[in-house]
Amino acid sequence: MSKKSISETAFPCGRRKFLAIGALTGAGLVLPGKWIGSALALNQSSTKTRKLVVPKFNQSPTNIRKFVVALSGLGPTGIPVAAPNTTKFNGMDYYEIQAAQFTQQLHPDLAGPTTLWGYADVTDGKAANYRYLGGLIVAQQNRPVRIKAINKLPATHPLPVDMTPPYMMGRTTVNRISIHLHGGFNPWMSDGMPMADFDPSVADGGTGYYGASALGAGGIPLNIPDMDQPTGGFFNYHYPNQDRAKLEWYHDHAIGITRLNAYAGLATGYVLQDPVEHALMDNRLIPGMAQMVPLIIQDKSFQADGSLWYPSVYEKNSQLPDGSGRWDWGPDVIPPATGVTPPPALSGIPEFFADTALVNGAPYPYLQVEQRHYRFRILNGSQARFFNLQLYYASETNSNEIDLKPHGKLDRSKVVLGPPMIQIGTEGGFLPAPVALNTKIGELTFDPESENPTSYNLLLAPAERADVIIDFSNVPTGAKLILYSDAPAPFPSGDERNDYWTGAPDQSAFGGAPTPLAGYGPNSRTLMQFQVIPRVGPADPSSMSIMEKVALGTLPASSNPLPALTKLTTVGAVVRNLTLNEDFDEYGRLIQKVGTNVQNGLNNQGMPTWGRDYESAATEVISAGAKEVWRIYNLTGDTHPMHWHLVNLQILSRQPFDPEHFPTVKYTGPARAPDANERGWKETIRCQPMECITVIAKFDLPNPGFIVPASARTGGSEYVWHCHILEHEEHDMMRPMIVV
């Protein structure tokens, strides 16, 4: 298996690769010694002469300048923060959050404003101020938040919607929503389940529809005590906030259109604080709110008029004689899938990697920082793209760039590291000890056998978060630094057409982008720029540097101010064996599934399969309060960011195995401990190809202060676990998780 995405001598036309595991009579399974399907190697000269008729995969306009849009933190000039009614419900914060369509000029070089779907705070009748990432909520531990979510979306989606797959479940409307507080410890009826979706009221042009998971006894919508009974167009949520301080986020989770709704803008932040965090700020051990900046990183593609673009054509490898389409198609692989029909003209796709980096909704923004410490709450909010975040001084010859060699690797003779990144938390809250990153060149390096990364800097999969402190105190004023990423897409093997960087070879002949020019997009590597300005006011106290000194080892571990981690033990834990699988649907499209280690019949290739549909009977049925150890075997060629609703987990180990013998497990190397910055609580975990990751969780249920009925659909507290590559989640890498 070649590491095409980091080749220094050629730029192969990589593609999405299908890891096929076939049956051998009497010998279990066999893993082919290479990826199924052909790969076309193209060097820089051949890309100029190749003549192909390729499907049109849109690329954003090439005139979008980098680092001309300014960022700020929270508030009027940054991400809008919702303001609660604090008296309507005793001891609680109450919000009315409305979802609607609006337009916003995201960058001055886009020809026009972008049509978006998003949230706005309309509490107590205030006028809706729709802005990208609007409605961010700041909450406090043990002070519940109640939300009345109102759907005012139009009947027509701004993106193409494939209505043919069975995961649309016969639904006819495309303006359904279901708000999921990602990372929240919430009663199931407020979890924002995929089938707890609802559309606008009849008065707003909708049907007043509620999905099966939003309905209680007698088909009446579920409700929170003392709140208005939903009668169409709205739904109520109760968040007890009984968990630790952390960055959560809420986004749409409506079945069949989650990927489209989130891409169109239905996502924003939710900051949960607690006394531990307040004490760290009050004692000047971490920056306060004035220097706390969310960085929500996403990738988007734009059409010439400024509107969003999302692919709607399934590009089969067999469409081109050299096999350079983007995805495998079932009848073209070995063994071929049978009994399938060609994909519809408007088709769902296996995953999407856009070409323009956005931070807080701005393409290639810049942020002015004083010579002091800043705390960055980083979220990878992309559909499918991973980020390997690194911080470098801008090139001396072009402050919009960093120095790269012609093949796209960092020029180590010129590139200069920025200050260390000190990670103090994950999506599950504070780490037990700070971790120093960005202390050496942070490029990805790979295991030549598995292509899994063995060295990286701050690696974030979709939905992962990192709580990071950067000290700019000793950075010269006027300096410019670039937040950079070199993660391949798909991760970890990569397809060069998804990697956009200054000076890359012209790949337009086979469906990629023309060579990006210095200072302009498309670009998926140079994400944003920091501009250092003089400090206003006194310098930060020396206490603010304790985290960094502990992380770097210049202070003893006993000086660590972060709270200790209570480790879960495996004593008395239930053990489950789960699998991550690839398959083909009835249209021959590549899909992903979650399953167990118990064979689930044969797929349409006539091969044993362990994958199960989202709607098939639940296999993860868990007793409330139980401790469970899950061993997850990744049988696919992708790294999957698996996300659990309800619970946070701890990683116990990762261990490579040989899928050839599965379901008999033959490990090919020793187990290794989680990375230092994974040793806290997690709810989105990277599961790498041909690797077993073992995790542990305790499945407690929250106490919202009222009786929570069992789900009329499943008979328990209904949650899910799924891949957070959104195209995978919906087709069909999601399974129910029922706590009884």
Quick one: pLDDT at residue 56? 67
| Size (the chain), residues | 740
State whether residue 190 is helix, strand or coil: helix
Rounded to the nearest 5 degrees, what angle is found at the Cα of 499, between the Cα atoms of 495 and 501? 150
For residues 580 and 594, the answer to whether their CB atoms sit within 8 Å is yes
- Amino acid identity of 411? D
Domains (range + CATH), the chain = 574-739 (2.60.40.420)
| Contact call for residues 243 and 185 (beta carbons, < 8 A) | yes
Angle in degrees, CA 698, 704, 710, rounded to 5: 75
pLDDT of residue 45: 29
DSSP three-state, residue 121: strand
452: tokens are 């899994």
Which tokens sit at 527? 């994400």
Whether the predicted model's global pTM rises above the 0.85 cut: yes
What are the structure tokens assigned to 212, written together?
A: 């099966």
Identify the pLDDT of residue 508.
85
Check: CB of residue 706 under 8 Å from CB of residue 364: no
Residue 323's pLDDT is: 66
Residue 125: strand, helix, or coil:
helix
- Please answer whether residues 196 and 159 qualify as being in contact, where contact means their C-beta atoms are separated by less than 8 angstroms: no
Alpha-carbon gap, residue 247 to 174, rounded angstroms: 29
Averaged pLDDT, groups of 10, the chain, 740 residues long:
28 42 34 27 30 67 97 86 98 98 98 98 96 96 98 97 84 95 98 97 96 95 97 98 98 97 98 98 97 97 97 86 81 94 94 97 97 98 98 95 94 96 98 98 90 95 98 98 97 94 90 92 97 97 98 98 97 98 96 97 95 96 98 97 98 96 96 98 98 98 97 96 97 96
**Which residue blocks in 300-359 are alpha helix, DSSP H?**
none
Q: How far apart are CA 290 and CA 312, in angstroms?
A: 42
Report the alpha-carbon distance of residue 149 to residue 121 in Å, rounded: 10
| Cα 449 to chain centroid, rounded | 26
Specify which residues 106 forms β-bridges with.
Answer: none
Which residues contact residue 413 at a Cβ distance below 8 angstroms, ignoring those fewer than 6 apart? none
Q: Which pLDDT belongs to residue 19?
A: 54
